Structure 1
Amino acid sequence: MQKVCWVHQSGLIPYQAAWEWQKALAEQVAQGTLPPLLLLLEHPHTYTIGRRGSADHILWDEETLTRRQIAVHWVDRGGDVTYHGPGQLVGYPIFPLAELGFAAQDGSEQPANLNVLSFVEKLEQILVNTLRQFGIPAASRAGLRGVWVPVWRENEFSQAQDWRKIASIGVKLTAQGVTLHGFALNLDPQMEYWEGIIPCGIHGCRMTSVAEMLQPPPQKEQITQALLGEFERTFQLVMVEKIQLPFDTSPKSHYTIG
């Protein structure tokens, strides 16, 4: 029998609030009182720096960050620095990896031995498959995380393939074996905000979006439904829309499970 996965679409949510939601929900998923969950949302303008990141990879000074109202958070996911903002589709899968078949090759289901890399690769493939449904030739790249799109550039002497990143991925596994953080897919964000960082800590990395690749771009709802279909097929889940989260999500709450 397929497991149920709750899907909660939240709109524009401050990064810190969403982070607290994830941690509160992950505790309940680990205890088995909630099924796997997928949060889909957007953030106000935010830079997050992962465990391998450096403050030097934020290029704009404090005055510019303040003027542009960009929040900066150091976070416990993998990866380096990335941007979140309106116009992205951000997904936070809160998944118990052992229950979904991500045991280590020796069969161990201890959190330290769970196959997180395989989970990340499946997230990449979900995004690749979703984008390809709309005619975007998305791909993974060996040695690099995230989802990329090949772009051909030409001059009078030669033609060469360039790559632009369209989705970023970074994941953390809790001590109980539940995933936090996830992915950010660029639908139609304000691309100039990428100029304030070295994306993913990769010098020369160029970003793109669905809106840059397709005109007119598909509606967000179309992409979301395609994405959910890929989650169902990849993880053998039944995706069920959940309007309310099981705790108070008001700004003044402490995100207490009800």
Structure 2
Amino acid sequence: MRTKTYYVDKKVIPHQTAVDFQIEERAKIILLKTQKFDTSESNLLILCEHYPILTCGSSAKESHLLIDRSELPNVGLEISTIKRGGAITFHGPGQIVGYPILDLENFKTDIRWYIETLANVIIDTLGNYNISGYYDHEFPGVWIYDEVTAKKKKICAVGVHLSRWVTNHGFALNVNNNMSFYQYFIPCSIDSPDRETTSLSREIGFDVSITEVKKIIMKNFQKYFSTELI
């Protein structure tokens, strides 16, 4: 049976608001599961943007922060520790953040499959702009290889959390966001001269419509997860 997934566009919201909403919605699905109800039409895909913030996952270290915490408000940043894998990630306006809240028992109970499928949604989205992306198992996320500079550029972070096979957190695709914030931390603990971060607008040379990119993500999400967005 083909699942149905509710699409929720939250526009620009505080990060904590998104965290609270995810926790609330995931709890609803878990309750349905424990009561043996069907959850095939209870899945959600949330797309949004956040105000500038650094989020710290389970492998984040203080040494990854390149600015004193007390100075973060002076450069326009908040910081928060959350329950997901990975180290420090940036969120800000112009970056599309996706939070799928899915019962993987409706899809496939395989966390590696889930992460790679999320990555494929983004890879196909980049393909619409003639950008060739790939998923890096060693440094999880979607990357671009620059043949001119021989650098690997991270364009999308991926970090998830599961409880009873119900997902939260997800991906953060750099579209038009201000890349100067990346000077204040080591992104995802990757400190290598042949690796850096980038954005869609930086790669193609002009800003892109956030609404347009969201529509492409939605189309690819339906394709790769064999679900209907409603």
Please say whether Structure 1 and Structure 2 have the same fold, judged by a TM-score greater than 0.5: yes
Secondary structure of residue in 2 paired with 1:47: strand
Aligned match of 1:38: 45
State the alpha-carbon separation in 1 of the partners of residues 96 and 228 from structure 2: 20
Secondary structure of residue in 1 paired with 2:155: strand
Question: Is the contact between residue 52 and residue 78 of structure 2 (CA under 8 Å) also seen in structure 1?
Answer: yes
Question: Is the contact between residue 108 and residue 114 of structure 2 (CA under 8 Å) also seen in structure 1?
Answer: no
Instruction: Provide runs of 4+ in structure 1 moved above 2 Å.
Output: 30-34, 215-218
Q: Counterpart of 1:17 in structure 2: which amino acid?
A: T
Q: Counterpart of 1:170 in structure 2: which amino acid?
A: G
Gapped regions of structure 1 (runs ≥ 5):
103-114, 154-159, 241-258
Secondary structure of residue in 2 paired with 1:216: coil
Q: Counterpart of 2:31 in structure 1: which amino acid?
A: Q
Secondary structure of residue in 1 paired with 2:141: strand
State the alpha-carbon separation in 1 of the partners of residues 86 and 151 from structure 2: 22
Aligned match of 2:128: 133
Question: Which of 184, 198, 201 is residue 208 of structure 1 equivalent to?
Answer: 198
Report the structure, 1 or 2, having the larger helix content. 2
Deviation at 1:75, TM superposition (A): 1.0
Aligned match of 2:7: 7
Q: Counterpart of 1:149 in structure 2: which amino acid?
A: I
State the alpha-carbon separation in 2 of the partners of residues 70 and 218 from structure 1: 24
Q: Counterpart of 1:41 in structure 2: which amino acid?
A: C
CA RMSD of aligned residues (A): 1.4
State the alpha-carbon separation in 2 of the partners of residues 142 and 22 from structure 1: 26
Deviation at 1:210, TM superposition (A): 0.6
Deviation at 1:227, TM superposition (A): 0.8
Question: Which of 220, 224, 227 is residue 214 of structure 2 equivalent to?
Answer: 224
State the alpha-carbon separation in 1 of the partners of residues 73 and 200 from structure 2: 28
Secondary structure of residue in 1 paired with 2:123: helix
> 1:51-200, aligned counterparts within 5 Å?
51-102=58-109, 115-153=110-148, 161-174=150-163, 176-200=164-188
State the alpha-carbon separation in 2 of the partners of residues 63 and 72 from structure 1: 10
Deviation at 1:14, TM superposition (A): 1.0
Secondary structure of residue in 2 paired with 1:79: coil
Aligned match of 2:227: 237
State the alpha-carbon separation in 2 of the partners of residues 179 and 62 from structure 1: 30
1:163-195 CA-partner distances (Å, limit 9, x unpaired): 110000000001x22101000000011101011
How many residues are treated as equivalent by the alignment? Answer: 221
Secondary structure of residue in 2 paired with 1:145: coil
Q: Counterpart of 1:30 in structure 2: which amino acid?
A: I
Question: Is the contact between residue 121 and residue 224 of structure 2 (CA under 8 Å) also seen in structure 1?
Answer: yes
Deviation at 1:36, TM superposition (A): 0.5
Gapped regions of structure 2 (runs ≥ 5):
33-38
State the alpha-carbon separation in 2 of the partners of residues 190 and 162 from structure 1: 20
State the alpha-carbon separation in 2 of the partners of residues 236 and 142 from structure 1: 24
Deviation at 1:69, TM superposition (A): 3.0
